[in-house]
Amino acid sequence: MGRVNYGKFLNGERKGLLGDVLIDGKKQINWEMYPMEFKQPFIQAASASSKWQDYASDVKRPALYKATIDITENPPKDTFIDMKQWEKGVIFINGFNLGRYWKKGPQVTYYLPGPLLKTGKNEIIIFELHQSSSEIVFSDKHNLGPVQHVTDDDE
C-alpha cells in the first residue's frame, strides 16, 4: 500500500514488521517468508491448479478464491464489482489485476471495463487477506465512497 505524499505525514509513515511476530501471544522465531508475486505466471499457475477447494465460510486467514461468471451479452458491457462484504485484498479478472480493495474504503465498487470481459466464461481470482464473503456482487452503479477534500489547512 502506498504512503501519504503530502502535508504533515510526509516521510513519517512506517511500513512492514515493526516488532515481534506473535501467534496466539507467542513470539515466533526461526520462521520463513515466501513472496507471493502476483505477476502473470503466478496467476496463470494458480488458475490452472487442480487443488481449488469449495468455499468455506469459517476461513479467517489469507486465501485465494476462484470463481467464474458466464456472460451471455456480446459484447460485454462495463460493470462494477461491489467489495463491501470483503475485507482487504486484490481482484484479478481473466488474469488482469483489477486492483486492491479494502473495507475501510473510501472506494466500495471497482470499475470493470467491458473489454476485460469476454462472452462466455470469465475467471475471477481474489486474494483475501482476512475473511471472505460468500458472494461477489456486480453492480451497474459506482460507489466511490464519500467525497474527501484535501486542502492546505490539512498540512
CATH code: domain 37-49+58-146 is: 2.60.120.260
d(CA 87, CA 16): 19
- Is residue 75 predicted with pLDDT exceeding 90? yes
Classify 80 as helix, strand or coil: strand
Q: Could you identify the residue written with the cell 485484498?
A: 89
Please give the backbone phi and psi of residue 26, each rounded to the nearest 5 degrees, phi first.
-105, 130
Measure the CA–CA gap between 18 and 76, rounded to whole angstroms: 45
The listed range with the strongest mean pLDDT (53-67, 108-122, 133-147) is 108-122
13 phi/psi in degrees, rounded to 5: -85, 145
- Residue 106: asked if its preceding bond is cis (omega within 30°), the reply is yes
Global pTM value: 0.75
Instruction: Write the pLDDT tens digit of every residue in 1-19.
Output: 566 666 666 666 667 778 8
Q: Which of 58-62, 68-72, 83-87, 126-130 has the lowest mean pLDDT?
A: 58-62
Q: Which grid coordinates belong to 137?
A: 456482487
**What are the domain boundaries of the chain?**
37-49+58-146
pLDDT, residue 11, reads 64
**Taking all residues of the chain, what is their mean pLDDT, rounded to a whole number?**
85
Q: Mind listing the pLDDT tens digit for each residue in 23-74?
A: 899 999 988 877 888 888 888 888 888 878 777 767 778 888 899 999 999 9
